[in-house]
Structure formats: structure tokens, C-alpha cells
């Protein structure tokens, strides 16, 4: 009968298992949103670094797609160092990224000829330890490609953000297919907040966490990314009852 494992062997085996699951010490680092209602639903209290995350617009139009990009820009803005942003279209709008806290001086803009080349650039960028985050705008993301990206992110501890954009409506169905991403988000534009005087209030989004590995799914009504890259739960309207209530969050079951 084989002898039982001694303590050092058992500890080494456990660490190996954690590493294979993408939970090594490097990958336990997280990037909190700074919104307790959101962070408490994410393992570790924030977005896992050294991991792949997906974000898409809630609809097929350009407005929701732009909101998804701004949400990602706010996340990338709160990392340290340069941000590699990979695209196949000539429509990356630097002033909008700057308003979300990501100035042009921090962005390395890579324009690729097709999605295959973009995915290769995405993977190589994730393997580079000198960038704070890598963003790639992709229409389709297969399980095989996402696994490669996830492994690259885990190995270097780099934050990977895939913005799902579609040229045609049928391509949107690919977003429902399983991938190796740690979280999957959807962003939809809501009516802007009401100001005490006539004018345009701060933009508001419906933020849906539709998949979270080892975490919970939920919906949040939030105020859009500000100049520091941060979002906030929507404040109750001035004429709303002051009775205690849970506002701005709906748990998904």
C-alpha cells in the first residue's frame, strides 16, 4: 500500500492545482471598481488580473457598443502603465477615451488588417509584462482562441479585455457561445440622470454581469465612467421617497 504524501509534497500538489486553475499568487490580484455592491459579487473583490474578460453592448447598435468601449476604457485607465488597444476598424475615438480617464499618451493603438491578425496581436500583447492592460475589439471569439488568451494573461499577469463588436447582426449570436473568459459583461445605455436645472445629466448604463467564474451574476444601474475611470451606482432621484430601499441593483437568479 503506497505511503501517504508528506506535508511538503501535499503543499506542492495543492499549489500546482491552484496554478492550473489560474489561481496562483500572481493571479489573485484584483482591480476593484470601488463600488461595494459590484465588488462583493466578484471573487477577490474586483476584476481578476492576469485574466480575460469580455464586454459587449446590450444591443446591436453603435450607441450601446460605444458604451461598452467606454466601460472598458475606464477599467484600463485604472491599471498601471501603457494600454495596448487592438482594432480592425478606423474608428477609435481618442477624446472619448480621455474623458473616461485614458489619455492618448497611455494608449498604444494597433490597427490590424483582419481578426486573425488581431487575435495574434492580442495574445502577444498579453504575454508582455510591461503593459497595464490589453484591449481587443473582436467580433468572434472561439473557445480555443479564448483559452490561448486566458493562458497568456495568466502567465504574465496582464489584464485582457475583449470588446465584442459586430459588423452584422447574425454575428452577435457568437457572444452567447461559451468561452474561457473569467467574466462576461453587457452594457446598455439608459436615460441620463436628471439635473436640478435644465440640461444634460451624467450618462447612465444598465451594467449586466452575465457570467462570473466562481461568482454571482447581477444587474446594476450605474452612472457612466467619469474622468478618473470610475463608475458609480445611480443616485435616487430628488423627488423619490426617502424610505430605505435597495436602489440600482437587481440580483439575477
Residues 32-71: pLDDT tens digits?
Answer: 999 999 999 999 999 999 999 999 999 877 899 999 999 9
The pTM for the full model equals 0.81
Cα 220 to Cα 48, 63, 174, 186, 207, distances in angstroms: 19, 18, 24, 11, 5
Exposure pattern of 140-178 as b/e (b: 16+ CB <10 Å)?
ebeeebbebbbbbbbbbbbbbbbbbbbeeeeebebbeee
Place of cell 502603465: 81
Q: Enumerate the domain spans of the chain.
A: 28-251
Q: Quote the CATH superfamily of domain 28-251.
A: P-loop containing nucleotide triphosphate hydrolases (3.40.50.300)
Query: How far is Cα 83 from Cα 104, in angstroms, rounded to an integer?
Result: 10
Cα distance from N-terminal residue to C-terminal residue, the chain: 47
Per-residue pLDDT tens over the stretch 211-253: 999 888 999 999 999 999 999 998 753 334 434 333 344 444 3
Amino acid at each position: 500500500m503506497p505511503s501517504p504524501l508528506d506535508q511538503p509534497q501535499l503543499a506542492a500538489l495543492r499549489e500546482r492545482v491552484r496554478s492550473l486553475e489560474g489561481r496562483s499568487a500572481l493571479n489573485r490580484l484584483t482591480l476593484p471598481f470601488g463600488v461595494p455592491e459590484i465588488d462583493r459579487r466578484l471573487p477577490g473583490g474586483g476584476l481578476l488580473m492576469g485574466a480575460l474578460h469580455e464586454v459587449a453592448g446590450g444591443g446591436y447598435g453603435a450607441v450601446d457598443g460605444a458604451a461598452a468601449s467606454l466601460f472598458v476604457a475606464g477599467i484600463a485607465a485604472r491599471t498601471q502603465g501603457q494600454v495596448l488597444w487592438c482594432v480592425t476598424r478606423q474608428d477609435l475615438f481618442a477624446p472619448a477615451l480621455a474623458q473616461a480617464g485614458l489619455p492618448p499618451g497611455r494608449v498604444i493603438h494597433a490597427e490590424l488588417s483582419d481578426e486573425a491578425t488581431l487575435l495574434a496581436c492580442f495574445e502577444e500583447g498579453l504575454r508582455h509584462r510591461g503593459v497595464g492592460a490589453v484591449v481587443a475589439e473582436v467580433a468572434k471569439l472561439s473557445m480555443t482562441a479564448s483559452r490561448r488568451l486566458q493562458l497568456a494573461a495568466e502567465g504574465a499577469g496582464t489584464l485582457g479585455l475583449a470588446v465584442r463588436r459586430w459588423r452584422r447582426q447574425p454575428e452577435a449570436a457568437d457572444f452567447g457561445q461559451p468561452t474561457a473568459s473569467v467574466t462576461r459583461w453587457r452594457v446598455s445605455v439608459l436615460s441620463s440622470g436628471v439635473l436640478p436645472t435644465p440640461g444634460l445629466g451624467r450618462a447612465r448604463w444598465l451594467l449586466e454581469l452575465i457570467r462570473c467564474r466562481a461568482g454571482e451574476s447581477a444587474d446594476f444601474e450605474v452612472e457612466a465612467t467619469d474622468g478618473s475611470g470610475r463608475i458609480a451606482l445611480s443616485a435616487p432621484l430628488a423627488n423619490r421617497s426617502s424610505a430605505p430601499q435597495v436602489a440600482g441593483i437587481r440580483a439575477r437568479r
